[in-house]
Amino acid sequence: ALESQQSALRATEAWYRGIIEAAPDGMLVVDAEGQILRTNRQLDQLFGYSAGELLGESIDRLVPLASRGRHVALRKGFMAHGDTRQMGANLDDLQGVRKDSSLFSAEISLSHLPSLEGGGACVCASVRDVSERRHLQAALKASEAQLRAVLDSSPVAMVIRDVDGRPTYCNPQFDSLFGTRLAELEGTDPGQFWVDPAAHQRFLAAASQGPVLNFETTLQRAAGERVDVLVSSVTMPGERG
């Protein structure tokens, strides 16, 4: 019976090793003290180490020096109470440190494993390099900030609606012209600004066919005051404006 149990244990351990080795992301297993028990080829390559070089080392070796104190506390807390969790998936920029001391942005998933090779509790960590994603997110954020600055400073009143027609943005000039803020536009009919319903329908029909530039009409402010304007409609990627 004992031999059968040992054989089953060896088979289970081999199964875990096979999963770790075959994983497309970097994978490592650490014990309760943070000692690295196993890594796969992807993890070694990601951090710039040769096969087996990290075995027996502390996981803190892969953590930037400035973050090690906090990492120790987080690791102990996860060992004691943690469940499967993912870190770095949002904008919190977790970093790993390679053998050559260079840093990269990482997304890390943690999960408890049954004890391996007769040891105690251990944790399996999946590590992915998301540096390119972080750069793209930063570039997108900067681009959105630049676009908002342009729209906010434009002398032309502008409102942006999503694909369902819900207003998602209006600039200060729109507020000033119509005396209506973005929150007040939600759930309202855009037709309330049009004096001539027939003109509104002609505008909508034209906009459904493509961009409309300088459609001459009369609109009314929230207080009822009328103003002669030129209305344009241009479809933005992913939105309707």
Are 84 and 77 in contact by the 8 Å Cβ rule? The answer is no
**Range list of H helices, the chain:** 2-22, 41-47, 68-81, 131-153, 172-178, 182-185, 197-207
Q: Let me know: does 33 contact 7? Beta carbons within 8 Å.
A: no
| pLDDT tens digits, 86-101 | 665 554 678 999 999 9
pLDDT digits (tens, 9 = 90+) for 127-176: 999 999 889 988 999 999 999 999 999 999 999 988 888 899 999 999 99
The tokens describing 75, both together, are 């690791």
Token pair recorded at residue 16: 């875990």
Distance of alpha carbon 24 from alpha carbon 18, whole angstroms = 12
Residue 7 pLDDT > 80: no
Give the number of other CB atoms < 10 A from CB of residue 94. Answer: 19
In this prediction, residue 113 carries a pLDDT of 77
Integer Cα distance of 132 and 183 in angstroms: 36
Distance CA 147, CA 160 (A): 13
> What does the pLDDT read at residue 26?
95
Q: Is 68's pLDDT higher than 80?
A: yes
pLDDT per residue over 194-230, tens digit each? 999 999 999 999 999 999 999 999 999 888 899 999 9
Q: HSE-up of 166 (CA within 13 Å, CB side)? A: 6
Q: What is the DSSP letter of 151?
A: H
